[in-house]
Structures are given as structure tokens and as C-alpha cells.
Structure 1
């Protein structure tokens, strides 16, 4: 089974745990992505202080489906290993919101899977972002 971790949690994320999960002697490449809360939003004036992420109750199940679907589309032979988690709750600037790690025998597949995995999570995972700024303004984003 190529999907080893696919979850939505309310605790800090650990890149090393994701890298460890996909480690395998048959794999020659590992690609990873770490998405952290930044102190600004290029589409909105003001400085970001923190984000509150909330999720639909089906978010963990949806994450598993996303990871399995991406694996089936891009890795029909099932040679890659995938670990991905999104965090919910209050996150400050610098806190990690998403971690993805993918290993495969060759780099092209690892890069392609990791990229598509993160893009599909962004498109389809039922998580909402409530951004808070230093000026007191706040902004809700739809699906992240």
C-alpha cells in the first residue's frame, strides 16, 4: 500500500516522521513539501498574526481518498510511498500547516506525486482558513 499516512490532525506536524514513514531501501528519491504560515498575504494588506483552520468531519477520510487517488493516477504500478498530513486549529506565523513526503525509485515520480498531492489537497480538502491580521481585520478563505 503506497499511502502510509493521510490525515488531518490538531497537533504540530513532524516532517521527520513523514520522511521516516516513506523511507524504504527500494526508493532512490524522496521529495517533500512543508507549508508554513507566513506573516503576510500577498492578496490582502496587513500583517498576519495567526490562522485558525477548521475542517469538515470527513476531512481525514477525504485526505486518504486524495492521497489514494493521486497515487492511482500517477503511480499505477504502486512503487511510491506517500505520507501527507494537514493541521487544523490555531497556527501562528511559522507554524507548519501541511507536510507531504513521497519516495519512489526515481526523482521524477517523487517530484510529480508530491506536487500533485499538495495541489489536490489545496483544491479538494474540506478545510477552511480564518486569517487574522495585526490591524484587527480577518479574512475567511474557502477550501484550502
Structure 2
């Protein structure tokens, strides 16, 4: 299950979707808004997504992880909207019988998500400037 959320993400809720008594490994990744990026002080972030495509792509990534790794379940939720420093932007949860598969699948999911899913990050800096990051084709465009 992959979904986009406009409200704060509850990690425990995402975790509950993958828990299973047959699984000894449960890996949770929380991506949080940090106060810096490439040497610049960040004030806040705004995420935008093409929701239908993002959810389709995200679910494709999760299905791929289920086929590629020896895992029981995987889930991911990504926020959109304005986020402050420390807010949770994304949660990935993976369960497996053993930890190695859970760790490997979790890393694969977040890496694929960042590389391919249409979610865009707009950074606002403490010096009053802002820019879209990780999205070369967004430069100069207002969404």
C-alpha cells in the first residue's frame, strides 16, 4: 500500500499495516524535514505530487519489492503540503521473517521512490529565497 497524505503521518498506523506474528524483522524508515540542504539553512518545505500517478508508481515499487525481496509486507505514505522542520515527510514500513530482507527492501523502496515517483519538493530558506529541488524540469515554473 502506497498513498499520498495531506495530513500528518502516524508512523504507528503505517507500521500496523505490515505487522505479522510470522515476521521477526520490522524496519521503519521515517524521512523528516531537516533544517539544511546543500549548505543552505532551510525554513520549511512544501511537497506537491501528481497524486494518481504517484500512488500508481508507489504501488508498483512496493509490488516490485515484494517480488524481489523475501518480505511479508511493505507500506509507504508520503506527505504533501507545507511541512515544518522535524515533520515526517515519508514513512516506509517493511516486515519480513528476517532482518536482512527487511532492511534491503526498505532501502530499495525509499531509493526508488525518490528517483521515480512524481513528488516535488519546494524548499524555503531562512534568507527569504526558495527553490524547487531534485526536480530540474521544475526550475522556473510555479505549480
TM-score (norm 2): 0.88
| Structure 1: runs of 5+ lacking an equivalent | none
CA contact (8 A) 1:37 1:97 kept: yes
Q: Structure 1 length normalisation: TM-score?
A: 0.88
Supply the distance in 1 between the matched residues of 2:50 and 2:63 (Cα, whole angstroms): 19
Q: Does 1:51 align with 2:41?
A: no
Whether contact under 8 Å (1:28, 1:106) holds in the other structure is: yes
Secondary structure at the counterpart of residue 59 of structure 2: helix
Show the counterpart of 2:97.
Answer: 105
SS of equivalent residue, structure 1 residue 22: coil
Distance 2:92 2:61 in 1: 12
How far apart are the structure 1 equivalents of 2:116 and 2:78? Answer: 12
- State the SS of the aligned residue for 2:94: strand
Alignment of 1:1-144 (within 5 A): 5-41=1-37, 43-45=38-40, 47-57=41-51, 58-75=53-70, 79-143=71-135
- 1:142 is displaced (CA, Å) by 3.3
| Total equivalences in the alignment | 134
- Gaps (5+ residues) in structure 2? 136-143
SS of corresponding position for 1:26:
coil
RMSD: 1.2
> 2:133 and 2:62 mapped to 1: Cα distance?
23
Q: How far apart, CA to CA, are the structure 2 residues paired with 1:11 and 1:40?
A: 23
